[in-house]
Amino acid sequence: MKQVIKNILYGVTFCLLVTACDFLELTPPSDLTNENFGSGSKDSATVYTTAQQMEDLLGGAYRHFADEFWQLDMYILNDIQADNGYAGEINDEVAQIEEFRIVATNPRLPDKEWGAIYSHISDANLIIEWTPKIEDPVLTEARRVEIIGEARFMRALCYFNLVRIFGEVPLRTKAISEISLANIDEIYPSLYSEKASLPDIYAVILEDLEYAVNNVSDYSGSYKFKITKAVANLVLALVYTTKDGYESTDWAKVKELTTAIVNDTRYGLMDNFDDLFTIGTTPDPSNIPSANLTNENCKESLFEINYTSWSELGNWSASMFFGIDWKKYSTPSHDLVDAFDRENDNVRKNSSILFGDATGKWTDRFWPSNNYPYCYKQRAQEMANIILFRYAEAVLLLAEAENELGNIDAARTQLNRIRYRAKLPNTTAGSKEAMRLAIENEHRFEFAFEGKRWMDLKRRGRFIQVMQNATDQQKEYAARLNENRLILPIPQQQLDLNENLTQNPGY
């Protein structure tokens, strides 16, 4: 691959010396784009000198939270691939994921998942590298370390998603310079590196998040599209529950991190669960409104994407799951509906699922058209914010940590806070094992269709067992599951580009 790049660069250089040569006809092919090189959409050969340039780069990095990965693929991976839903729309790209038969050539892998995440990492690397060099007096030292902290949080979250989706992946922590004949031998190893080990990747994730915890803003007030100490603590706690396996988790550390959030009186549970998702009117599935959430930036939100308009930053995610204009990507499963009903959890069921009449629109082999369920947590498009991380997740993680540390009464107290809000009686779990399951189930009810389920079950070591016991068609597909299928294949496109990459076992 290196020689191919050199040949292209030689050709471009020659054309620049021959005036009759049309440079535009020798633009490098698609596999030599900035994104594939890991440099994102920015020209990393630019010399940055001002504070405003760093703010602009940071703003661009924040915009990645509106990428298709966050608006669609996190829900496909976590809810459709698990027992909360299934691929309603007949789309083989998505059906492969749901049915555990995904192949390395699936077109979602290189663009919407691998490529999108590495593009975000690239932009974060650029900020991390250049911000310390800025001599502009407008950039105070306090703001300098804050910008770096926000970028390092983004990089850590990106790698955390990559290892949970793909396992071992290349580790890129340096901004990639503009490629040339002079530096190709130097930067090629960074462009096309082999996989790093999970311990090495997690070491970078932990270092980045620790830096973020110590340097980002303590609190952002009524604007939650900003990385703060609370969300950094939450993601750091999630990393600790994941990186070493459930039985080897440092639960004392998880307790420390989540206690800092739970005891922060600037955050808390909304009084009514539906307040998190309401848009102030009853949505019409035949015409999804463009509207804000009634309670944007509420006290329960730790981090949410601030959508404003189609011309600036628009939320199209709702239309992927709600509405009768076409059969949507995710249809709630009988397994989830039945679980809500067994628990008598009408509060969260009614906030998560809306039954409507799709007669004449489509048919479904599992639901009647005149009583068809839609994912209901996203009810408006364009301007409606999406909460990615909220206070309730810290409460349940604290309950989990207390239980694993043998403090079952303390675990019960935190779990019952979530149940009380859902108008449910106190938990009857009386043993450590029963409490584990109670917390796991509570997490499912609380975060259905918020892009959490698959990754939550995997970190608990429970995904295969849960899917094999599912009551819908997932049980049939789960026969294909094994340990290798707990991660996705490395995209074939990346294997073709990078001779140092190897495919994941089982693919």
Asked whether the beta carbons of 331 and 364 are under 8 A apart, the reply is yes
Q: What is the mean pLDDT of residues 51-73?
A: 97
Asked whether the beta carbons of 205 and 130 are under 8 A apart, the reply is no
Q: What is the mean pLDDT of residues 45-69?
A: 95
Is 15's pLDDT higher than 70?
no
Strand boundaries in 320-430, DSSP class E: 330-332, 353-356, 372-375, 386-390
Q: Give the pLDDT confidence score for residue 465 in this predicted structure.
A: 96
CATH class name, domain 2-74+99-236: mainly alpha
Q: Give the pLDDT confidence score for residue 323 in this predicted structure.
A: 86
Percent of the chain with pLDDT over 70: 88
Host H or E run for residue 304: strand 301-305
Strand, coil or helix: 344? coil
Q: Give the pLDDT confidence score for residue 191 in this predicted structure.
A: 76
* Residues in the chain, overall count: 507
Which structure tokens are listed for 165? 């989706």
Q: What is the mean pLDDT of residues 205-214?
A: 98
Q: What is the mean pLDDT of residues 309-315?
A: 95
CA distance 299 to 395: 14
Kindly list the domain boundaries of the chain, sorted by start residue: 2-74+99-236, 237-450
Residues facing residue 387 across a β-bridge? 304
Asked whether the beta carbons of 62 and 231 are under 8 A apart, the reply is no
On the question of a common fold for 2-74+99-236 and 237-450, the answer reads: yes
Q: Give the pLDDT confidence score for residue 1 in this predicted structure.
A: 57
Higher per-residue pLDDT: 286 or 247: 247
Average pLDDT value for the chain: 90
Q: Give the pLDDT confidence score for residue 185 in this predicted structure.
A: 63
Q: Give the pLDDT confidence score for residue 475 in this predicted structure.
A: 85
Q: Which residue has the tokens 């290196």?
A: 2
Is 37's pLDDT higher than 80?
no
pLDDT band at 36 (very low <50, low <70, confident <90, very high): very low
Q: Give the pLDDT confidence score for residue 46 in this predicted structure.
A: 77
Higher per-residue pLDDT: 160 or 474: 160
Is 107's pLDDT higher than 90?
yes
Q: Give the pLDDT confidence score for residue 388 in this predicted structure.
A: 98
CA distance 387 to 419: 20
Q: Is the pTM of this model over 0.85?
A: yes
Minimum mean pLDDT among 13-22, 90-99, 149-158, 197-206: which range?
13-22
CA distance 88 to 358: 13
Q: Which fold has domain 237-450?
A: 1.25.40
134 torsion bin: left (phi>0), alpha (psi -120 to 50), beta (else): beta
Q: Give the pLDDT confidence score for residue 183 in this predicted structure.
A: 59
Nearest to 130 by CA among 75, 100, 186, 174: 174
Higher per-residue pLDDT: 474 or 28: 474
CA distance 448 to 273: 13
pLDDT band at 189 (very low <50, low <70, confident <90, very high): low
Q: Give the pLDDT confidence score for residue 178 in this predicted structure.
A: 63
Q: What is the mean pLDDT of residues 1-16?
A: 46
Is 370's pLDDT higher than 50?
yes
Q: What is the mean pLDDT of residues 217-233?
A: 97
Q: What share of the chain is helix, strand, coil (3-state, %, to 5)?
A: 55, 5, 40
Q: Give the pLDDT confidence score for residue 23 in this predicted structure.
A: 27
Strand boundaries in 186-269, DSSP class E: none
Residues facing residue 375 across a β-bridge? 353
CA distance 233 to 281: 35
Q: What is the mean pLDDT of residues 92-101?
A: 94
Q: Give the pLDDT confidence score for residue 472 in this predicted structure.
A: 85
Q: Give the pLDDT confidence score for residue 90 in this predicted structure.
A: 78
Using one digit for the tens of pLDDT, what is the confidence trace for 255-272?
999 999 999 999 999 999
3-state secondary structure 125-160: HHHHHHHHHCCCCCCCHHHHHHHHHHHHHHHHHHHH
pLDDT band at 2 (very low <50, low <70, confident <90, very high): low
Asked whether the beta carbons of 63 and 154 are under 8 A apart, the reply is no
String of DSSP letters for 380-405: -BBS--EEEEEHHHHHHHHHHHHHHT
Q: Give the pLDDT confidence score for residue 39 in this predicted structure.
A: 37
DSSP 470: -
Strand, coil or helix: 90? coil
Q: What does the angle CA 330 – CA 333 – CA 334 come to, to the nearest 5 degrees?
A: 160
